[in-house]
Amino acid sequence: MTTILLGPQRFTITVDKTLRSLGLEGPIAVINSGWEEREGEDDELGSYLQGRAVNLRLYHRLVDSLSKDRDFARAALRFRDRHDELRAFYGIRLQGAVETVGAVAHRTSVESIGPVAQAAAIETVRDVDRWYGGQLEQLYDEIATESAEHSEVIGWHRAEVATSLDECAAVVIPGGDVRSLMRTLRLFDVRIPADTPVIAWSAGAMVLTEQVVLFHDFASQGMSASEVYDRGLGRVRGVVALPHARRRLHLSDTSRMSLLARRFPDQRLLLLDDGAVVRLDDDGPDLPVGSRTIEADGTVSVVEAA
């Protein structure tokens, strides 16, 4: 199983060279539903893919399903409202837990209780993340899955998508809105064959992992805690993908970065900046030489040769 995660492609284009390096023949499936209404504006991307692109048009399929299946449209609206409510409560709980970690870290302790208290505070943050994940899975079970499984329209689209994937030599997943991308991947039950190479960047890289984490330390509304958004496809395990890291993370704030890393102790926090090319094959879980990660102490390290 070959998966290649790239840095953003806006300024530094590497997808064309990466595709050529695979030496593949045949059509290339494109999943760019994160572009939403601009999904069909893929001429430039198609030129980088040697004119072999087959756009799966997942966002168009979503709109088609909403317009033709009223039961699904009503269920989708209920899901959106309840998900928004869940995320609001998650944000409240998460912010309080993160602020507690900071307060504990800044309190002076004459005994060894300080580090123990901080570890307990970080575990509380993890508990909030787990609570949100569990609630979200229940929400999917109650609304999204049931309505989609009984829809003839969605069933037809799922079958067509699956056939297209089986006929393609590779899959390319660009960025865009990660919420729309994740939503369409789930709705149409996208299952990429293990032996089909995948090239992805930005939001596309995020959805391939086990957990999709939203982050932006320099957002216009001010700094807030990074949030778990959804469970990803799980093709890439043991990694949290962090695209545009230099632009979106306060990497010099080691305390903040340390908390982010310690929230996900079983995952490597992979920085995907411009020019990054991270190839993951089925020969092991280790990241390749040159990969940049955030360590538990909040510093950025580069994977070196053994």
Mean pLDDT value across the chain: 91
Query: Is the domain of 198 the same as that of 129?
Result: no
CA dihedral in degrees (145, 64, 86, 264; nearest 10)? 80
Domain that includes residue 217, residue range: 1-36+43-68+170-306
Q: Name the domain boundary from 117, 150, 183.
A: 150
Instruction: Write the pLDDT tens digit of every residue in 132-149.
Output: 999 999 998 887 655 666
Residues 1 and 124 in one domain: no
74 and 63 in one domain? no
β-strands 268-272, 239-243: how paired? parallel
pLDDT in tens, 68-84: 999 899 889 999 999 99
Residues 55 and 177 in one domain: yes
Q: Is residue 155 part of a domain?
A: no
CATH of the domain at 282: 3.40.50.880
User: Looking at the structure, do residues 204 and 83 belong to the same domain, yes or no?
Assistant: no
| Count: domains in the chain | 2
Over pLDDT 70: what percentage of the chain?
Answer: 94
Domain check: are 193 and 285 in the same one? Answer: yes
**236 and 208 in contact (C-beta within 8 Å)?**
yes
Nearest Cα to Cα of residue 29 among 153, 284, 199, 151 = 199
Residue 77 half-sphere exposure, CB side, CA atoms within 13 Å? Answer: 7
Do 175 and 298 share a domain, yes or no?
A: yes
Q: Is the pLDDT of residue 216 over 80?
A: yes
Predicted confidence at residue 283, as pLDDT, reads 47
